[in-house]
Chains A and B, each alone.
Chain A
Amino acid sequence: MNSAAIATQGLTRRFGALTAVEDVDLRVAPGQFFGFLGPNGAGKSTTIKMLTGLLAPTAGRIEILGLDLAANSIEVKRQIGVVPEGMALFGRLTGAEYLNFVGRMYGLDRETAAKRAAELLDFMQLADQPKKLVTDYSHGMQKKLALAAAVIHGPKILFLDEPFEGVDAIASGTLKAMLQSMISRGATIFLTSHVLEIVERLCSHLAIIHRGRLVAQGSLEELRAGVEAQAAAALPSDGGQSAAVAAPGEKLTLEQIFLRTVGGARPADQELSWLS
């Protein structure tokens, strides 16, 4: 599993009788902007929680930057940044206090933490109200603060669980600018999102998880080629799923690739006749 930024082998997580993630082998190369997609309940958040140490795998192995996560959790955590589900903010601190706190949790000295906190607040356009408590921030402001906190120590890998959920276009633009600047400096980003247009625009590589299993992995072009080849083979009997295939001469969008891969297109004969 060497030379990968993130690599998993047989990653499995069970909750009682339910297998949320099963035998997942992921491989993310350094410097990739990696999108991890899947329908609701497919196992995306469970996977990202295991990769960031928030959840223990039932079976399998995780390597981050060549280090085994189970054996070197502190060393791994030093090199990663996380925006988890729920954002992990402290509502009764100000944005500056929170960033200061997180910076020092990641080992920055007091002066560096304060300096970076100020720069990040400025970059994220959160510096206008320094006395405002995080609990009084809007959802978009909280997302920006959570991202600022995740990068304050200059991580080599950034894990983002739905960073664009509930964020307006302005805040979304700020987040994207920061992420692209990180990629250009060699960082690796692992992102889950339901906003496929953003994933398509940002991510160079993708994986799709469905019912806990990894069903596709590769660059966008590789995934597109795979789906087109499958569609060509199955076209005579695809049961109405041809809606997820592009018109001749057009490239498949990520949404079409996604729907083909997870089989999410609704058969045309299903309709609610009473709807006006």
Chain B
Amino acid sequence: MFAALGDETRLALVAKLCGGESRSISQLTEGSKLTRQAVTKHLHVLERVGIVRCVQAGRERLFEFKPESVEEMKQYLEFVSAKWDEALGRLRSFVEE
């Protein structure tokens, strides 16, 4: 997931979608130096790792940001981090006593 966000173009796409509105490929291509094909390719990478989702709206495919993907990773890290705090607290008591 972080590898997918490591690319500046993809990060810029996520930034455009972060506001919550769904956007079409044309809208996302607009104003960028990239071709429609390149944008589509990047969107698929983001879709595969679960950062964005694609929804069909009539004849158009729209892409939207999945905030829960980032939130979930954050929660997981907070969980493991809290476990380390507990373990290091026990280590402290153990070596300082």
| A pairs with B | no
